[in-house]
Amino acid sequence: MTGNDLNITLGVEEEFFLVDPKSRDLIADPDPAIFETCERASGLHTVVHEFLRSQIETNTRVCGNFIELREALTETRRLVIDAARQHNVAVIASSTHPFADWRAQLPTPQERYQRFAITYQERRSFLVSGMHIHAGFGDPESRIRVMTALRRYLPLLNALSASSPFSTGRETGFKSYRLNLLSAVPRFGLPPAFSSRRDYESLLETYQSLKFIDNGSELWWDLRPSPKYPTIELRICDVCTSPDDALAVAAVYASLIRKLLRQDSENGLPPELPSEIIAENRWLAARYGVLAFFGDTALGGRIDINDCLAALVEDLTEDAKALGCEAELRHSLTIIKEGTGADLQIDHFRLRRLEGDSVAEALRSVADLVIRETMGNCQE
């Protein structure tokens, strides 16, 4: 393949919670002016409502390289943080809120969200936020083949992004509890192993013929062909508290795609792993995050996620250099060493408890910490 055939465009969607800076609780019905302020200042980006009124979603412009992507992520975070601050609201990048009560939340008054709530009922499953990364590359057939080959890496990508250790005021024992909550809704989880675009379209047509769904936007798999764009959309990730961590996840994802595209055109992609094995590693990632020991599908037994990622980073170095994201790729090793947003929250909560805080005080302190970390280097 030529260099142009290996070009990848990227766009990132991040979902945030809107928080009362005094109580640190979610604002169930925030001032619509926050969204209006964002829309006026969004430029090439977009800012939209999510399922709950206490959420806000940013979509970066399409980016052709990692310099553009870093700029875009900084701009979209700053956009939301500044607009919220103007209305005395704080913003957190965390896939669950430390203590908010799902029963107090209100759906956004749009027809599709109201229909969603009526159909799926389990409203506690919707008190989550995520990060979706769109990658544009290849043609429809190569995108499907690469998407299938990417499935084995989904647990690692989830572990690197984990930011949902708490739910309704309790420490869940999981680093990415968001995946547990979403499992109550159909068509979440691993995508099937498609071998062609026709395979995908056949399943989509079957879902539609049985009146299960109207279109591909209702296939909420961990990874899917975008129903709107010529991209493969990574959906398994929690929203990263740190913008640098988000860029690292994007770098791993993009570098993997470039490597798999090369393999697809040269020697062919590796044999596909059974979905059941990937699902086991997916559970381990959600449970333990960067402390996971995955099933080693090459040698048998278990492999420390640190060893797994270190070998992968070395394998992807050539592709990361070509994409201009070698530093971002290597930051993924720092995530393993220093922990994710989930580890940050858990460590802070336990420290506050040791220092005498009540559970409620410690959880509010966690919220304060996440507010600060979400700002990162995105403040004016």
- What the chain holds in terms of domains, given with CATH numbers, is 4-375 (3.30.590.20)
Question: Which pLDDT value is given to residue 349?
Answer: 98
Mean pLDDT of 262-275: 92
pLDDT band with cut points at 50, 70 and 90 for residue 84 = very high
In whole angstroms, what is the distance from residue 314 CA to residue 41 CA? 40
CB 276 within 8 A of CB 256: no
For the stretch 41-81, pLDDT in tens is 999 999 988 888 999 999 999 999 999 999 999 999 999 99
Question: Which pLDDT value is given to residue 36?
Answer: 93
Burial class (CB in 10 A: 0-12, 13-18, 19+), 377: exposed
Mean pLDDT of 352-362: 97
For the stretch 137-165, pLDDT in tens is 999 999 999 999 999 999 999 999 999 99
Question: Which pLDDT value is given to residue 2?
Answer: 61
Question: Which pLDDT value is given to residue 184?
Answer: 84
pLDDT band with cut points at 50, 70 and 90 for residue 376 = confident
Q: What DSSP assignment string belongs to 22-57?
A: TT-SB-SS--THHHHHHHHH-TTSEEEE-SBTTEEE
Question: Which pLDDT value is given to residue 378?
Answer: 63
Mean pLDDT of 338-349: 98
Token digits of residue 171: 């420490």
Question: Which pLDDT value is given to residue 121?
Answer: 67
CB atoms within 10 A of CB 91: 23
| pTM of structure | 0.95
Residue count of the chain: 380
Q: What DSSP assignment string belongs to 55-80?
A: EEEEEPPPBSSHHHHHHHHHHHHHHH
